Amino acid sequence: MKKTLILLILLSSAFTLLANGWHITTRYYNLPVGQRNSRTEEVFLYKGFMKMVNGNLTTVFDLSKGEIIYINTENKTYWKGNPKRFNTEVRAELEAQIEEKLYGVEKEQQDAMRAMYKEMIDASFPNATEPEVRAKNFVVRKEKEGENISGFNAVRYLVTEEGLPLEKIWISPDLLVSRDFDFISLSHFLNLLAQGAYAASFESSQEYFKLLEQGYPVKVEINRASGTQISEVISAKSVTLNASDFSVPAGYSPTTLTSVGVWDGYM
């Protein structure tokens, strides 16, 4: 019995040493609605790869190649491209969808509806390649140690932007994810996708990167006029991954962003 126990401990240690990435599941919900309308997302992190699984749609960032891949596991299709191609096709496809939605609408209402939809597109996907973004002043203040989020020890911080409360963030030193994944490169990539608009976010700031050196954000709470947005890690474990875990499965066919399901529910 003693030998078996020692063997199990040794095997567990060996698997831990082989682990080179992370599998993290996060729940998203809003207050006051609560968790009954929550959604969950699985994230896999490994070196320069990030994979996010939401139902039938999987999103992959290949940071070393500067590529984004969308994979639909239901219709077995995928879309692959760089940020420039993504932003070019985004506007073309969404503008085409506008005209489809206006089919059958009374003529006097079409102009107003067209303007509303185009405003939505411009807000999410600005035409400017590199909009001028003013640097913001973020301050992070430790509020409480010894918090427990889904079994993970965490430290709660208050983040202010230009002196006003922005969010509360819980960092767990149990999860040193930044040792296995480059969050700074992720920030640069997201900024390319957002055509410069991401640069002024807290997640692109040095203050945020310093927090990630201490651990992983297991909970984030952001107050909005409409309510409170919460993301909360419900499980996280170190796993063994390789580049093939982030590739398009065999037999899948290339398609458009619309057909792969990226815009489901957008308009």
Instruction: Report CA Rg, the chain.
Output: 21
pTM value > 0.85: no
Q: Looking at residue 104, what is its pLDDT?
A: 77
Q: DSSP 3-state assignment of 26?
A: strand
Task: Point out the least confidently predicted range of 72-81, 113-122, 140-149.
Answer: 113-122
The stretch 103-129 carries a mean pLDDT of 75
Q: Token pair for residue 160?
A: 């202010």
Contacts of 106 (CB under 8 A, 6+ apart): none
Backbone angles phi, psi at 259, to 5 degrees: -70, -30
Q: For 24-76, what is each residue's pLDDT tens digit?
A: 999 999 887 777 778 999 999 999 999 999 999 999 999 999 999 999 999 99
Q: For 199-258, what is each residue's pLDDT tens digit?
A: 789 999 999 999 999 999 999 999 887 789 999 999 999 999 999 999 999 999 999 998
Q: Looking at residue 85, what is its pLDDT?
A: 93
Compute the distance between CA of residue 87 and CA of residue 70 in angstroms, rounded to an integer: 14
Task: Point out the least confidently predicted range of 55-59, 71-75, 126-130, 262-266.
Answer: 126-130
Indicate whether 1 pLDDT > 80: no
Q: Looking at residue 16, what is its pLDDT?
A: 45
Compute the distance between CA of residue 155 and CA of residue 162 in angstroms, rounded to an integer: 23
First CA to last CA distance, the chain: 62
Q: Token pair for residue 210?
A: 């310093």
DSSP 63: T
